[in-house]
Structure 1
Amino acid sequence: MTWLEGKTIVMTGAGRGIGAATARLAASYGAHVVVNDRDAAEAEAVARAIGEAGGTAVSHPGDITDWAAARELVMRAVAEWGRLDGLFNNAGLFRMARIEELDEASVRAHLEVNVLGSFACAVHAARQMLAQGKGGAILNVSSGAQMGLPAMSAYGASKGAMASATYAWATELREAGIRVNALSPMAATRMMDEAERYLGAPVSSVPAEFNAPVACYLLSDAASGVTGQVVRIEGRVLSLAVHPGIALPTLEGEWDFETVADAFRTDLGRRQFPSGTVGMTVEIGGNASRTWD
């Protein structure tokens, strides 16, 4: 199959795990891949393996949190193949800590890598795609942790930020034909190794390769009608994450302490959304029913 034939795609954090699996699969579908990772040896190994398998790839190690380095990464694709068609914003940092265990360095690191780094790559990718005037695809990475998981507040907040950015960018870039989606993956990667160390129990045995077909689909022209979505893949389960919004019906009135208290006592209290990762049944037309799991 050649779903990505001739497409030039930058993939960050592609030295191993989901990024490496996606880079290999995309190349097998005909894409030209720029393999980015902070670890130069790992990036080079993936690019070399792609070449040995008959694909086309170059390695471009670097730190995406450096705004100028992110631009250089995007321009490497243009220098090699004359254009940029896709960005897989996959590089990320994951550490677990309950709120009382958090320190400034850990919180800042999550925001710098997962948010600032992803923004840097997406901004430069979008500018290049807009200049080309022929559309493109940006695929960010979110997480089920954005819905509220214990000991994942810093990570979840950073991935929630990327979900929000995905919705905004998809709206901004729609008329230019640039699609923006986010992947919410699950796999036995270094991140899951960290979770298992913290929890003292196995977390996931899903191979990284299970996520690659979804990522490649969202980067391909086959997904031309898909934008502004957070797509969840967890082993055999494929789903969409529900977008944030205002819960209907709303209440109208003159609000002081007593009327607010009464609103929660009679209406809003029983309509509260549970914290933690949940499932919601969404009917065609966007009407959400109160179904949780």
Structure 2
Amino acid sequence: MLSGKVLLITGAGQGIGRATALAAAQAGAAVVVNDIDADAAQSVVDEIRQSGGRAVAEVTAIGVNGAAEACVGRAVEAFGRLDALFSNAGVLRDSVLWKTEDDAFDLVLSTHLRGTFQCGRAAARQFKAQGGGGSLILAASPAGQLGNFGQGAYAAAKAGIVGMMRSWTLELARDRVTVNAIVPTALTRMTATIPALAPHVAAMERGEPLPAQLRARHGIGTAADIAPLVVFLASDAARGVSGQCIGIGGDRLSLWSHPAEIRTDLHAQGWTPEALAAQWESFSDGAVQRVGVPLDFD
């Protein structure tokens, strides 16, 4: 499905990134494996090569100036071009608002949001220079869609990524570059820090099958369950898919809506605080939106 294509994956030393790198190589792509951990990146490269695939490593911290250009440059140097980017690198520093330190907030935003911006920009410049289009695949999150307790920085970064996706879809359409965000839900090192999921992560690591309800109702599976969507979006079969926020996890595929007004009302000469107070209950009845990622997985 990806024969002849070159795919750059950031944060590919483990978890979703690693699973996607292996799946992309199996589908015929040459893969640039980026990670901050040199041993992890090289391990993925070795595994791909041992299976007859093509891969190189680029060890750098995403979000640092020059890292994105180094990753794209590595793709061009090793394989002559770049066809798709999966911007996946991430970090967590979960903390409630009043306990969040500036350094932790900055690290999360730098890695996720700034890193995605820089990688997207470097890839877009390469796509435009070589012609023929390309694919930007950006990692979003349920936290960015709904919010999550203790994840203000992470939710802000992921919501920002979806916002950039929508703008980039418009900006790159003329160059035949598709831009999509995926909302993955999988048991990984990052989700192991969520108390409600920790027992399932432990069970998975023991080799036990995941409950059917977790995979179907909640759409939570393994990292390998995420990879097929990235492979599809990087392929020619998805050339008509752009500007979408697509969820995948376990057995479940979903399409997220874009924000839109769900109800409107008018008040002649503008609204006053008193008019808002009098109207709010009837105006908002049945329309107030829920917040928070559901965490009841029993």
- The TM-score normalised by the length of structure 1 is 0.88
SS in structure 2 at match of 1:58: strand
How far residue 167 of structure 1 moved from its aligned partner, in angstroms, is 1.1
How far residue 98 of structure 1 moved from its aligned partner, in angstroms, is 2.2
Aligned to 2:228, which of 195, 202, 213? 213
Aligned to 2:237, which of 222, 232, 242? 222
- Residue in 1 that maps onto 2:47: 49
How far residue 200 of structure 1 moved from its aligned partner, in angstroms, is 8.5
How far residue 195 of structure 1 moved from its aligned partner, in angstroms, is 2.1
- Residue in 2 that maps onto 1:245: 260
Task: Tell me how far apart the structure 1 counterparts of residues 222 and 291 of structure 2 sit (CA, whole Å).
Answer: 28
The amino acid of 1:262's aligned partner reads A
Count of aligned positions: 274
How far residue 250 of structure 1 moved from its aligned partner, in angstroms, is 4.6
> Are the counterparts in 1 of residues 93 and 105 from structure 2 also a CA contact under 8 Å?
no
How far residue 145 of structure 1 moved from its aligned partner, in angstroms, is 0.7
Task: Tell me how far apart the structure 2 counterparts of residues 56 and 140 of structure 1 sit (CA, whole Å).
Answer: 23
- Residue in 2 that maps onto 1:91: 89
Gaps of 5+ in 2: 205-220
How far residue 260 of structure 1 moved from its aligned partner, in angstroms, is 2.3
Structure 1 residues 190 and 143: CA distance shift in structure 2, 3 A? same
Q: 82-91 vs 204-213, which deviates more? A: 204-213
Percent identity between matched residues is 38
- The TM-score normalised by the length of structure 2 is 0.87
Q: How does 1:1-20 map to 2 (within 5 A)?
A: 3-20=1-18
The amino acid of 1:120's aligned partner reads Q
How far residue 244 of structure 1 moved from its aligned partner, in angstroms, is 1.4
Aligned to 2:276, which of 260, 284, 287? 260
Task: Tell me how far apart the structure 1 counterparts of residues 94 and 109 of structure 2 sit (CA, whole Å).
Answer: 14
Q: How does 1:1-293 map to 2 (within 5 A)?
A: 3-146=1-144, 147-196=146-195, 201-202=198-199, 205=204, 206-253=221-268, 254-277=270-293
> Are the counterparts in 1 of residues 222 and 249 from structure 2 also a CA contact under 8 Å?
no
- C-alpha distance after superposition, 1:198-252 (max 9, x if no partner): x684355522111111111111111111111111112111101121122244535
- C-alpha distance after superposition, 1:101-124 (max 9, x if no partner): 322222111101011111111111
Task: Tell me how far apart the structure 2 counterparts of residues 151 and 271 of structure 1 sit (CA, whole Å).
Answer: 26
Structure 1 residues 270 and 216: CA distance shift in structure 2, 3 A? same
Q: 43-52 vs 58-67, which deviates more? A: 58-67
The amino acid of 1:202's aligned partner reads P
> Are the counterparts in 2 of residues 192 and 203 from structure 1 also a CA contact under 8 Å?
no
The amino acid of 2:53's aligned partner reads G
How far residue 192 of structure 1 moved from its aligned partner, in angstroms, is 1.4
Task: Tell me how far apart the structure 2 counterparts of residues 227 and 267 of structure 1 sit (CA, whole Å).
Answer: 35
- C-alpha distance after superposition, 1:66-111 (max 9, x if no partner): 2212111111111122211000001011232222332222211110
Task: Tell me how far apart the structure 2 counterparts of residues 12 and 122 of structure 1 sit (CA, whole Å).
Answer: 11
Task: Tell me how far apart the structure 2 counterparts of residues 6 and 176 of structure 1 sit (CA, whole Å).
Answer: 20
> Are the counterparts in 2 of residues 27 and 56 from structure 1 also a CA contact under 8 Å?
yes
Find runs of 4+ consecutive structure 1 residues off by over 4 angstroms: none
The amino acid of 2:168's aligned partner reads W
Task: Tell me how far apart the structure 1 counterparts of residues 173 and 110 of structure 2 sit (CA, whole Å).
Answer: 27
> Are the counterparts in 2 of residues 9 and 33 from structure 1 also a CA contact under 8 Å?
yes
